[in-house]
Amino acid sequence: MNFIAALPDEIKTKANVDTTRVLGYGYSGGGFFLTQFTCRFGGIFKAISINAGGGPDEEQMGYGQHPNGCYRCPGGPVATIVTHGAADGEVEPGSGEFTHACYATFNGCSASLSATTPAPCQQHDGCPADKPVKWCLIPGQGHGPWAESMKEAWAFFIALP
């Protein structure tokens, strides 16, 4: 994780990189890694997309928990989109549900959701404009990446202020 945390600044020594606009996209194990990473390290990613993954599960770090079971992550808030297949037989859809609920908690959003595009996606109400949380539970989708996940992640990312 320390390697990933140092990577943007290292790349910046060799290329013109705006380290305020680093984005993360993780699928399955990569999604779990990304939630763990953003829980521990703040200020690296402007926004993340978690797909068929879950977390953060920081029991081993000894972080306290919110009443809803989400850890008190020192990494702070980050704009987040979570997609998960409703028919995922490898990573339970409840894992994605936990993830979006936790990022809503971290970001200071309401637990309530409102419909957004594309259907069946929903967005948490009351989020700061720069830290929205979007949840897409895809009917009939198994563990594989949702065909629209990259397109929707990019649309989510570029809509941020």
Would you say residue 148 lies in a domain?
yes
Would you say residue 5 lies in a domain?
no
Can you give 38-49 as a three-state secondary structure string?
Answer: HHHCCCCCCEEE
CB distance 143 to 52 below 8 Å: yes
Q: Strand 47-51 to strand 79-85: parallel, antiparallel, or no bridges (unpaired)?
A: parallel
Q: Is the pLDDT of residue 18 over 90?
A: no
Would you say residue 11 lies in a domain?
no
User: The CATH number of the domain where 136 resides is what?
Assistant: 3.40.50.1820
Domain that holds residue 62: 21-158
Would you say residue 28 lies in a domain?
yes
Our measurement of the distance from residue 79's CA atom to the centroid of its chain's CA atoms, rounded to an integer in Å, reads 7
Q: Is the pLDDT of residue 125 over 90?
A: yes
Would you say residue 37 lies in a domain?
yes
What's the pLDDT tens digit per position in 52-90? Answer: 999 888 777 788 899 988 999 998 899 999 999 999 999
Domain count, the chain: 1
